[in-house]
Amino acid sequence: MNKTKSQNSGWIVITVGWGLAVTIAIYAVGKFSGAHLNPAVTLGLASIGEFEWNKVPGYIAAQMLGAFLGAVIVYFHYLPHWRATDDANLKLAVFCTDPAIRHNTSNLVSEIIGTFILVMGIMALGVNEFTQGLKPLVVGLIVLSVGISLGGTTGYAINPARDLGPRIAHFLLPIRGKRDSNWNYSWIPVVGPILGGMYGALFYNAIFNGQIGKRFLVASVVVLIVMLLAFIGDRKAGRKIFSSK
């Protein structure tokens, strides 16, 4: 935001801040909820029987509410800077993600891959012994690594609540000079992480625990179809660019 001390601080600062924020949140609520901060993780664990389905709606509602309220706090934190910032896209980026290159199926694949790796990493943590209290820090490092290495395409939502809750806040809050909340794109950082999270858990369970069931096979087909559509769409876009020159 304009006239902040961190203006133009760059991608590394953003990803480190986000990773540390996740770490602190896990330390804060892990004892009470198992650190279910992300609907993609909750649904992933539920899909392999590691979390009760009857608890899923309540947990997701709490995750959405928390993300929304967090965004409202951020709005008040930057209160004088909304007026000082002319870039409406930058104001939106404070709340939610937007792709570097708009290509729906490719953006969807990016979110699937990022969340897949996140959940695979979390699953791997669960079967390894760590010094007590270290796991939240490792999860934060996974989020950091996903952001640095894969987040540049879409802004790495990898969490439906973290994107949709603040996007709703952006829509409702009286932000000076704001643009629309980009609802045409909003389904991608919701559907992509859900698919990636569930597939990450199913994939881990199939490969490392030998539990290859119908859900894993169906999820594999869905993910492959999405990736194929992204590839075909990219090829068509490439031909259009080439033919126009």
Give the pLDDT band (50/70/90) at residue 84.
very high
Q: Is the pLDDT of residue 119 over 90?
A: yes
Tens-digit pLDDT profile for residues 157-177 = 999 999 999 999 999 999 999
Give the pLDDT band (50/70/90) at residue 239.
low
Give the pLDDT band (50/70/90) at residue 41.
very high
**Dist. CA 38–CA 60, nearest whole Å:** 8
Q: How many domains does the chain have?
A: 1
Residue 24 within a domain:
yes
Structure tokens belonging to residue 19 = 């990773």
Give the pLDDT band (50/70/90) at residue 243.
low
Residue 65 within a domain:
yes
**Full residue range of the structural domain in which residue 63 is found:** 11-235
**Dist. CA 60–CA 130, nearest whole Å:** 28
Residue 243 within a domain:
no
Residue 5 within a domain:
no
Query: The domain that contains 111 carries what CATH number?
Result: 1.20.1080.10
**Dist. CA 37–CA 29, nearest whole Å:** 9
Residue 2 within a domain:
no
Residue 50 within a domain:
yes
Residue 240 within a domain:
no
- Give me the amino acid identity at 171: F
Owner of token pair 């012994």: 129
**Dist. CA 68–CA 59, nearest whole Å:** 14
Residue 197 within a domain:
yes
Angle ∠(193,23,96) on CA atoms, nearest 5:
40
Q: Which of 212, 185, 184 is nearest to 110 (CA)?
A: 185
Q: Are 27 and 33 in contact (CB under 8 A)?
A: no
Share of the chain above pLDDT 90, in %: 87
